[in-house]
Structure 1
């Protein structure tokens, strides 16, 4: 009997003090879910004017603590005209039981809505959001973001350029996020700010997903963007938009040198940029007699390493794709990209170019010596 008294006492205290967080009873949980559904009907005021559709919170769990409740939910929404499917965002909501002014009972009301622990924030979590719509673009900016109209104009030039390089079906439009600072950008992407210092923009998105997925987001680094000239901004944004265009054909088997090199090839295509101008770090290495022994592997593109080595990886990838387009034709490069996303690279190379990887590497090395040496 002593054991029973020990077990029952905490339960009695919990009931008396209502201080033990627990699942609410059926009626309370229904009321809490109803309050979340009411909250879902009106997106945040800071998003007024943005073309949102299918805004809804899918409640995963409810925990009541007296007159307060905590809800874990998945926010689903689409940007109309841009997202093929709803995007997801794990959220944590707090609710409070508030008495009606009329005195007729009380209702649950949402008092806080934030990213769930471990989840990435949304742009609007950082403050008010502004928007500019271009012909092929939707640009969303946070507080302190640079001129959105100029970025929209650049995106509108980048989309046709990407389509010309990638003549395959894709949405032909792009969503660009412009946070107010490098630190804000890093928060959105969940990586240290140092990883993006010096970069003009990056693309967020999933590769190899089955079924329709939301549109990728091009995320601009306002500090890196400010350091670029007109030509640099055009190259950077066309590179990132090309990643959006090729996303459906990009899988975990696509070599990074092909993915990054193709995006740079699309960006430099039609410009007067010479190999020496577009690949200065690699040119210095080649002039020292340090011709790469192989095409860049996945590790060569890791963030946070030697910036000169990273530059050589990107530059070498561009020149590999440039070589393929010049020697075998633009259509062969596009075909190689598609095949490399669904079959081994050795097979893709043989079927599209008629060479093996050693043959391609040898031709690439010869081109580096000729054009950069």
Structure 2
């Protein structure tokens, strides 16, 4: 039997338990080791350090050199390794990161700061673009001070313009016949984007012979990534399933355009609807519609003319919104204007359908060849009224009257 006099009292036991817990917590946290979570002051010479650091990132000619230049923290190493591998997948070259300002005042609770950097790069042949424009975006890099006095580059976000794809996440590139699909962090896993991109390329070629080049599709994993890649606030892309845009969201030529999907919308569509969207955007890309000054109804209506050319869905599906408006006495009085196609406009679906119905009517009356000739003329800069007369012998007023009659007749056949 144990000696009762040698037993520990309840207070002593509680103290020992607390000591053991504290020791375990210390061993787990290891405060004597460097931590990404530790708040460290930003060095006084941060701008000079950052200018040199981004020069080192520019000059890096290997993954190890790029990772070393990014900083000593674990987060920086992961970020830099991912960015380098994305660069490699995209064949990016002429990469330059030029420090502009910032990084010297903490603006986050963890003590990190925002450094503004101009990032330039040129896409390689890997992503199917014939254009070799050097793209430049203003990027906000998050930099975190470390206990060794250095700064670590831990993340990137767009400041002005689109975020370079190789800074957006883990990137993979897959080339298939006539198309290239760039997935960011796995992309949209709900639909077979690769085969759909190939189908879109073929569909455009059947209606518009002679189109050249690949269809390049960027498939982000999240809507937030999509917004960053097109350089737009997230609120402005919520209704958009996909958009055709220049690679940097700004300048460049018509040969550097890509289709960027919005997974929050695109992945919720059924296969038919998603294919229509992708073929619509592929028409914009392959006919160099980005940046055109042509009337919006011509650009958008023709893209749907191609996308729905072989579609077998009834009008109640493909034009249900505009025909419902017509049956309710709210039919359009004039051809759609550019303002009608504003992404935030009410009844946007009906506007697109109404533009498509113009081309559907023209195709049924005059045939594909004359419709394509009209579209090409307008895209080449011919005035709308002259292109209508040359292609169909119609004035704008005559087209408008025929279209309104066509809508009324079509609405009467839809239950």
TM-score category by the smaller chain? 0.7 to 0.9
**Contact 1:92/1:116, CA 8 A, preserved across alignment:** yes
Q: 2:321 aligns with which of 278, 281, 286?
A: 281
Matched, 1:35 2:56: yes
SS of residue paired to 1:277: helix
2:132 maps to: 85
1:344 maps to: 383
1:36-89 deviation digits (Å, cap 9, x = unpaired): 542366583341662414342174869998xxxx78434121131512223513
2:95 maps to: 56
1:257 maps to: 297
1:353 maps to: 392
Aligned in 2, Cα 1:114/1:352: closer, same or farther, shift over 3 Å?
same
**Contact 1:72/1:116, CA 8 A, preserved across alignment:** no
**Contact 2:218/2:259, CA 8 A, preserved across alignment:** yes
1:197 maps to: 238
Matched, 1:134 2:176: yes
- TM-score, with normalisation over the residues of structure 1? 0.77
SS of residue paired to 1:50: helix
2:364 maps to: 326
Distance in 2 (alpha carbons) for counterparts of 1:133 and 1:265? 27
Q: Shift of the alpha carbon at 1:140?
A: 1.7
RMSD: 3.6
Distance in 2 (alpha carbons) for counterparts of 1:121 and 1:283? 40
Distance in 1 (alpha carbons) for counterparts of 2:402 and 2:303? 21
Count how many residue pairs are aligned between Structure 1 and Structure 2: 337
SS of residue paired to 2:377: helix
Matched, 1:234 2:275: yes
1:167 maps to: 209
Structure showing greater Rg: 2
2:38 maps to: none
The answer to which of 135-144 and 54-63 deviates more is 54-63
Aligned in 2, Cα 1:74/1:326: closer, same or farther, shift over 3 Å?
same
1:371 maps to: 410
Distance in 1 (alpha carbons) for counterparts of 2:275 and 2:56? 47
SS of residue paired to 1:117: strand
Aligned in 2, Cα 1:211/1:347: closer, same or farther, shift over 3 Å?
farther
SS of residue paired to 1:369: helix
Task: Spell out the pairing of 1:4-19 with structure 2 (5 A cutoff).
Answer: none
Structure 2 portions without partners, runs of 5+: 1-42, 67-82, 105-114
1:280-331 deviation digits (Å, cap 9, x = unpaired): 111111111232111110111112221xx21111000001011112212212
Q: 2:224 aligns with which of 158, 183, 188?
A: 183
- TM-score, with normalisation over the residues of structure 2? 0.69
Q: 2:120 aligns with which of 75, 82, 85?
A: 75
Distance in 2 (alpha carbons) for counterparts of 1:62 and 1:191? 22
**Contact 1:175/1:218, CA 8 A, preserved across alignment:** yes
1:105-158 deviation digits (Å, cap 9, x = unpaired): xxx998467456323323343321233332222212222533288111110111
Structure 1 portions without partners, runs of 5+: 1-17, 99-107
The answer to which of 309-318 and 223-232 deviates more is 223-232
Q: 1:145 aligns with which of 187, 203, 220?
A: 187
Q: Shift of the alpha carbon at 1:33?
A: 8.1
